[in-house]
């Protein structure tokens, strides 16, 4: 078999996070670039719209959706307001924490973690894409957990998932043990590199080979440093095997397989003269309807190619984490009010610097004033507030952009019914009744 010679220089940074019109297939076809950009916008919008009200995505695909969105459009996460970013990251953390808490409280060995190495790798990649530390995840060093999983002596036959595990470590610049890297090299049969040891379906083989190629490109520096001499030769062989699997219509199988192949060949910088990139991309563009490539799971895996990215492209994306403003402190999320619920409607009035603003808000009977303020802020963009925890509960720091001023002794006070009737408690200890009026006044205590 004749193997292609890869452009090894620059292999370790295969990411191309282009904001407007990535140079798909080299960028020489402007019509194709425009078509890809249009489908990318549709796909990002469609996949983002599938997010549930609790911040998750259907069918346990939260980690896949977040990773796919960030690889297709690195500005997706940063384009959200702090509260929306917090909901997304909190949901991702909560899902993973359920696995970790169950394992830590049971005292089971690492082999009974309750989550596979591949699935943990997907969560780690998604976390890195939205700037969540995997090195200190609630006192868990996830890269250590991952390395322990990968070093187990039992047979690991799912090299698709195994490649995700390797990607999660190299994308975070974490050390990968030599034995784990050697296992990745041996994932493909040494004598027959176009087949895998544990699967005989040709389409599935390309899926596996594509993930192996992305992982090998990402981890190449560590492999060379650790003296794995066969790395580049095996990598080249796998790339050629993928190229050999391209059909006359440009596809490599179904849409997922074709996208993974395009991502792998792009990551490996395979020469455009050795495969038909344009036909592959045009095939993929026909496989979607209004941005939907066949559901959340498949769309999540397919869309990274729309931004010339692949599952090993997180290094450049995560460089923006230091520029991201910290999320706002978490607030409770009120229960959705349904028809027929027992509710209370009251008024909030804000007085500061000669201005008076009035609002009406409805809450569930039994909720406190704090929940009323949260509900009002969620429904009315003209009302905002900031609060902080104290020994006496939540304390108001600012309303509608007007903050306490300790230098001039100006502080927010709460009055019930009329000015001068100071509330006996804070916002968490006040429970409104129908038609009551709560007045917030920036009061001078000098």
Name which of 385, 400, 287, 270 is nearest 329 in CA terms.
385
- 115: helix, strand or coil: coil
207 is in an annotated binding site: yes
For 44-82, b/e burial (b = at least 16 CB within 10 A) is bebbbebbeeebbbeeebbbbbbbbbbbbbbebbbeeee
Report the length, in residues, of the chain: 446
Binding residue per annotation — 35?
no
Strand order in the sheet with 437-444: 355-364, 343-352, 437-444, 410-416
SS3 call for 441: strand
**For helices 255-267 and 231-244, angle between their N-to-C axes, nearest 10 degrees:** 140
Q: Confirm whether residue 254 is marked as ligand binding.
A: yes
What is the helix, strand, coil percentage profile of the chain, to 5?
A: 45, 15, 40
CA distances from 440 to 151, 380, 415, 421 (A): 60, 17, 6, 11
Residue numbers belonging to the annotated binding site: 207, 254, 301
Residue numbers belonging to the annotated binding site for cyanocob(III)alamin: 207, 254, 301
């Amino acid at each position: 078999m004749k193997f292609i010679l890869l452009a090894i220089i620059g292999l370790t940074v295969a990411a191309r996070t282009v904001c407007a019109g990535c140079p798909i297939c080299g960028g020489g076809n402007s019509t194709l670039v425009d078509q890809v950009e249009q489908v990318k916008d549709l796909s990002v919008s469609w996949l983002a719209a599938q997010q549930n009200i609790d911040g998750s995505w259907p069918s346990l695909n939260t980690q896949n959706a977040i990773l796919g969105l960030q690889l297709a459009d690195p500005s997706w996460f940063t384009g959200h307001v702090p509260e929306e970013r917090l909901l997304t990251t909190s949901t991702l953390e909560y899902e993973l924490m359920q696995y970790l808490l169950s394992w830590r409280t049971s005292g089971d060995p690492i082999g009974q973690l309750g989550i596979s190495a591949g699935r943990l790798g997907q969560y780690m990649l998604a976390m890195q894409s939205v700037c969540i530390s995997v090195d200190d995840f609630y006192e868990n060093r996830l890269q250590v957990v991952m390395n322990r999983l990968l070093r187990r002596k039992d047979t690991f036959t799912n090299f698709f998932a195994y490649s995700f595990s390797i990607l999660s470590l190299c994308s975070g610049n974490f050390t990968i043990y030599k034995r784990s890297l050697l296992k990745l090299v041996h994932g493909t049969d040494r004598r027959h590199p176009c087949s895998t040891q544990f699967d005989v379906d040709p389409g599935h083989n390309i899926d596996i080979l594509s993930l192996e190629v992305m992982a090998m490109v990402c981890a190449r520096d560590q492999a060379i440093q650790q003296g794995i001499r066969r790395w580049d030769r095996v990598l080249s062989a796998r790339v050629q095997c993928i190229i050999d699997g391209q059909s006359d219509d440009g596809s490599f199988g179904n849409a997922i397989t074709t996208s993974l192949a395009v991502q792998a060949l792009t990551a490996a910088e395979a020469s455009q003269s050795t495969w038909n990139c344009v036909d592959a991309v045009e095939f993929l563009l026909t496989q979607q309807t209004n941005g939907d490539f066949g559901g959340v799971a498949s769309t999540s895996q397919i869309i990274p190619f729309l931004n010339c990215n692949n599952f090993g492209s997180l290094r450049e994306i995560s460089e923006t984490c230091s520029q991201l403003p910290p999320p706002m402190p978490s607030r409770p999320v009120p229960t959705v009010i349904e028809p027929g619920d027992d509710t209370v409607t009251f008024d909030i009035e804000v007085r500061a610097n000669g201005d008076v603003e009035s609002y009406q808000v409805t809450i569930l009977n039994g909720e406190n004033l704090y929940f009323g303020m949260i509900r009002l802020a969620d429904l009315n963009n003209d009302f905002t507030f900031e609060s902080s925890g104290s020994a006496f509960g939540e304390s108001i720091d600012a309303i509608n952009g007007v903050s306490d001023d300790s230098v001039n002794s100006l502080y927010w006070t709460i009055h019930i019914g009329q000015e001068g009737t100071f509330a006996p408690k804070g916002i968490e200890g006040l429970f409104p009744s129908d038609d009551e009026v709560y007045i917030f006044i920036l009061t001078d205590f000098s």
